[in-house]
Amino acid sequence: MKAPMNDYLAELLEICGEDDGAVADYIPELAGADPDRFAVAIATLDGQVYSAGDADVEFTIQSISKPFTYAMAIHDQGLAGVLERIDVEPSGDAFNEISLEPSTGRPRNPMINAGAIAAHALVAGDDADKRSERIVDLYSRLAGRDLSVDEQVFESELSTSDRNMAIAYMLKTVGTLTDDPADVVRGYIRQCSVSVTVEDLARMASVLAANGVAPDGTRVLEPGVTRQVLSVMATCGMYDAAGDWLTTVGIPAKSGVAGGLIGVLPGQVGIAVFSPRLDEHGNSSRGVRTFEKLSADMGLHLMEAPESARSVVRVPKAQADDAPSVHEVAGDLRFIEAERVLRGLEAEPEDDGVVVIDLHRVHRVHDVARRMLLEGIRRLRIDGHEVRLVDPDGLLPDPDVDVSEPGDDTPSEDYTPQVFDTVDDALDA
Ligand code: GLN
């Protein structure tokens, strides 16, 4: 069978191919880019990549490097250390605005150049070369192949980098930069000049979507780091078009001046589009259109609640007096599912009857659900019940609870429910 996904993507390019906008020309080398290039790619969390159009054309990552370097700065310095230097408020300004927050002297966010240059300098490394090397190495691990710097674009941007130099010197005056500003800008421009394809970008985005885990199961970024990065992408990733983008497309995103654009749908996919003509905000015109269409076609807007939750909670029907009741859960056990389970357990009369909690069709118990479930077990026990768990995969390890009466002189008393592989075993016990 021919992959329907690829055909859909090819169709998408046809629909969104109007040739409005203009190629960036403030970096001489970018002015020569073929304006008609157009490509799209989608990468799933398990490493499947679908693409259409000019999927093997390389271009420079430019500002799409910013979220990934920000992630590395947080990894190296800790979130508090980075927040001290770079804020997370949307600026509503253009990407290369020469401005700092008046009250704190911090760049407004890490997605505009001021914040991105500051973030670059926070990456650990003895000098600019070492920092750039570590950064390229991280991008390569995210893309799943060795990436390198396009030296021509790098030299070209370096020769016209007065504005970024101005930003870096300004950062030095407020103490945000302690290194040589020219050296930091050099490193920052190297990070912007890493050469990628639209498929590389989709893969990089998919690792953010997977909470930092690569398709082969290796952890590349910590979950707390990806959450921070995606939040900032959602509010600041599209510069002064961020609000419009979040309401229409509804996907955390980042654009680059070479025409790349990534979107990250947490827990689902990484998406990338490449087309060099830019709109008035400096975002790829066709890229924006393609994302709008994709999001509408596929129902990808983050703020659109799914119609039916994936998880099911079955509360037992009334049974014969002495028959054990079975509370069954399937899918993911998060706050809302645990709340439903607790509601079912609350209806149990206070007696010594057996209560079975069946988790055999659950695939994940989130920490909050674990705490809520254990509290439910504790209260059932205090009411006099015997609790039996059906948990063949050990999703609720160490389910022991403290059932001692509150008060200083009561010694603590633990209760551990029996665990079974099947509901029948639990009922027969
Ligand atoms: N390297 C570019 C710059 O600093 C990146 C800008 C962008 O992609 N928006 O100007």
Give the integer Cα–Cα distance in Å for 323 and 316.
11
Q: Can 63 be counted among the known catalytic residues?
A: yes
Contact 344, 313 (CB under 8 A): yes
| Spatial CA neighbour of 207 closest among 365, 57, 67, 8 | 67
What mean pLDDT is predicted for residues 308-316?
64
The label of the residue with tokens 């190297």 reads: 190
Ligand 1 nearest-atom number relative to CA 258 = 8
List the domain boundaries for the chain.
4-298, 313-428
- Over residues 38-73, the pLDDT tens digits come to 999 999 999 999 999 999 999 999 999 999 999 999
What mean pLDDT is predicted for residues 377-383?
94
- Over residues 65-107, the pLDDT tens digits come to 999 999 999 999 999 999 999 999 998 778 888 889 888 889 9
Question: 4-298: which CATH topology?
Answer: Beta-lactamase (3.40.710)
Contact 202, 264 (CB under 8 A): no
Ligand 1 nearest-atom number relative to CA 64 = 8
Which superfamily does 313-428 belong to?
Answer: STAS domain (3.30.750.24)
Does the pLDDT value for residue 307 go beyond 70? no
| pLDDT at 351 (0 to 100) | 87
| pLDDT at 318 (0 to 100) | 60
What mean pLDDT is predicted for residues 337-355?
89
- The single residue of 257, 326, 329, 362 carrying the catalytic annotation is 257
- pLDDT category of residue 308 using cuts at 50, 70 and 90: very low
Q: Can 130 be counted among the known catalytic residues?
A: no
- Over residues 162-199, the pLDDT tens digits come to 999 999 999 999 999 999 999 999 999 999 999 999 99
Coil/strand/helix, residue 304: coil
What mean pLDDT is predicted for residues 353-370?
93
- The single residue of 40, 49, 63, 329 carrying the catalytic annotation is 63
- The single residue of 194, 229, 239, 387 carrying the catalytic annotation is 239
Distance 145 CA to ligand 1 centre (A): 23
Alpha helices, DSSP H, located in 51-197: 65-77, 79-85, 113-122, 128-143, 151-158, 162-173, 181-192
pTM of the model: 0.86
| pLDDT at 326 (0 to 100) | 92
- Over residues 218-264, the pLDDT tens digits come to 999 999 999 999 999 999 999 888 899 999 999 999 999 999 999 99
> Which run of H or E residues covers position 200?
helix 198-209
Q: How many CB atoms lie within 10 A of CB 301?
A: 16
Tokens representing 161 are 């980098």
CA 390 distance to own-chain centroid:
33
- The single residue of 188, 194, 273, 284 carrying the catalytic annotation is 188
Does the pLDDT value for residue 11 go beyond 60? yes
Q: Can 66 be counted among the known catalytic residues?
A: yes
Distance 164 CA to ligand 1 centre (A): 9
Distance 62 CA to ligand 1 centre (A): 5
Contact 220, 141 (CB under 8 A): yes
What mean pLDDT is predicted for residues 323-352?
88
Ligand 1 nearest-atom number relative to CA 239 = 9
Does the pLDDT value for residue 412 go beyond 90? no
Give the integer Cα–Cα distance in Å for 26 and 113.
15
Q: Can 293 be counted among the known catalytic residues?
A: no
Does the pLDDT value for residue 406 go beyond 80? no
